[in-house]
Chains A and B, each alone.
Chain A
C-alpha cells in the first residue's frame, strides 16, 4: 500500500506544489490522477519512488518511509514511466534500452534475457528488439518506455500521461493491457488529462487542483459531477454529457461509458415509447 499523510511539497523557488494531501492506494487498485496543468499531479507521483521527498507529512510505500530510502531501492517496487520517452533513451537497440533497469538492479544475465523477451512479447515489440529506439514512432517509443520499466515487474506501476501521442487503436490496446495488469494483482496509477480514456477504464479517480485533492471516488461518480468537473478544469466525457441532456427522459445521471449507456438505451427501447 502507498500511504500519503498530510503531504506538502514546496519547490526551492518557493512554489507550494502540494498542500495537505492525504491518500491511500491499495494493492491491485487502479487509480487515475486528474486535474488541470500545474495541479501537482507529476509532483505527487514523484513522491511515490522518492524522487522528491516531502517538505511536510509522510509518504510510505509498503510501510516504509520514503525519506529514508534511495530512489533506486524504491523504484524496484514503484515503476515510474515518464511522459516523454525521449528523456530516457540512450541505447543503440530497444533490447538494451529495456535491459538497463534490470542491469542496474543487478539481475543475472539469463534472467535479464528472459524478462526482456517477455515484455517485448507483452507489448508487441518483438520485431523492434534490434532497432534503434530513436528510430521508432511516437506510439512505439511510449511502449518501449513502458516496457523498460515493466521489465523488472514492479508492484506499483505509475504512468504519466500514457495516452499522449497514441492513436485510438493504441489507446484501446493500452486500456486492455492495464486491465490485464490489474487482474494480475498489480497496482496501476495513471496520470491523465484524457477524460474519454479514463471514462472507458472506470478506475477510482482522484482530482487534484492547486495542490490539493478536491475529489476522490469511483469514475462514474466523479466524472459525471458538474461541480467536480468544473473545479478540476476537466470536461465531462461525451457519454456523461449525453446522459445529462437525456435526464428529463429518465436516464440515470452517473453513466460515463459507452457500454453502460448502450444498456440503458436498450432497456428503454425494448419497453417501447
Chain B
C-alpha cells in the first residue's frame, strides 16, 4: 500500500502566491475545474483543464508532490479507462473518462496542498457553517497525515510478524488487509474519543459566539481570481450549451456483448 497518495494532499507551510490566496477564492477555482471536468466529456477540453493546472502547481511550489499524487491516481484512472473500454465505450471516450478523474484529483490535490486546515475552517465559518461542523472538518483533514503514519506503523508491525500482503489469490489478498484495517479503525475510534474528552476539558463549545483570531480578507489578487473564475465558469457553460468544439475521435471499440 503506497502512502505517496497522501503526500499529494498534504499541506506544507510555504509562502507562495498560491498559499497566500484566500481559501474561498481558491475553492472557487477548484469548483471551476470540477465543473469543467463534469460537464465536458471532450478529451481536448479535459486535457486542457489538466494542463492549465500545471503552471499553478509550479506557482505553489508543489509540482513535485502534485506529480506524485497524479502518479498514484493513474492506477485508478487506468482502471476507469479499462472498465469503460471493455464495456464497449469508444477508445477516445474511455481515455477522456480517465482524464476526467485525473482533473478532479489534480484540482483537489492542488487545493489541499496549498491551503492550511486552519484557513479552510475559517473560510467555512465565514460561509455561515456552524463552528462545530467546521471544526470537525478541519480536524478530519488534519488527521489524514497522522492516519497515514499510523497505517505505515501497523503495516510494519504486521509484516514483522510474517504477514505477506502480496501473497495469494485476489480473495486472499483482500483478506490480508484485515490485520491492517482492524488496528487502524480501533485506533482511530480510540483517538477520537480521547480527543473529544480533551476538547471538552478545555471548554469546547462553552460559548455560543466565537471571535476568530485571524480574519480572512480578500486582497486584489483574490478578487482578480474570483472574477476570472466566475468568467471562466460562465464561458464554460456557454461553450457547453451553444458551441460545438472540435475533437478527434478514434471510434475504435471492442465488442464483447
> Which residues from chain A sit less than 8 Å from chain B, CB to CB?
12, 46, 49, 51, 70-72, 75-76, 79-80, 82, 84, 86-90, 100-101, 104-105, 134, 148-149, 152
| Residues from chain B with Cβ under 8 Å of A90 in the complex | 178-179, 181-183, 186
Contact of B160 among A12, A80, A86, A134 (CB under 8 A): A80
Contact of A82 among B150, B156, B162, B178 (CB under 8 A): B156
Q: 7 closest pairs, A vs B, by CB? A: A104-B162, A90-B182, A88-B157, A101-B161, A80-B160, A71-B159, A87-B153
The distance in angstroms between the C-alpha atoms of A104 and B164, with both chains bound, is: 8
A75 and B186: CB pair below 8 A?
A: no
Digitize B156-176: 1 where CB-to-A-CB distance is under 8 Å, 0 elsewhere: 111111111000000000000
Contact of B153 among A71, A82, A152 (CB under 8 A): A82
**Does B154 reach chain A (CB closer than 8 Å)?**
yes
A149 and B153: CB pair below 8 A?
A: no
**Does B187 reach chain A (CB closer than 8 Å)?**
yes
B153 and A84: CB pair below 8 A?
A: yes
User: How many B residues touch A, CB cutoff 8 Å?
Assistant: 21
> Which residues from chain B sit less than 8 Å from chain A, CB to CB?
4, 150, 153-154, 156-164, 178-179, 181-183, 186-187, 190
A/B interface sample: 12 pairs, CB < 8 A: A46-B156, A51-B156, A51-B160, A71-B160, A84-B153, A87-B187, A88-B179, A100-B179, A101-B161, A104-B164, A105-B162, A148-B161
Contact of B159 among A72, A79, A105 (CB under 8 A): A72
B162 and A72: CB pair below 8 A?
A: yes
B159 and A51: CB pair below 8 A?
A: yes
| Residues from chain B with Cβ under 8 Å of A100 in the complex | 161-163, 179
| Residues from chain A with Cβ under 8 Å of B162 in the complex | 72, 75-76, 100-101, 104-105, 152
With A90-B179, A90-B183 as contacts: A82 and B164 at CB distance below 8 Å:
no
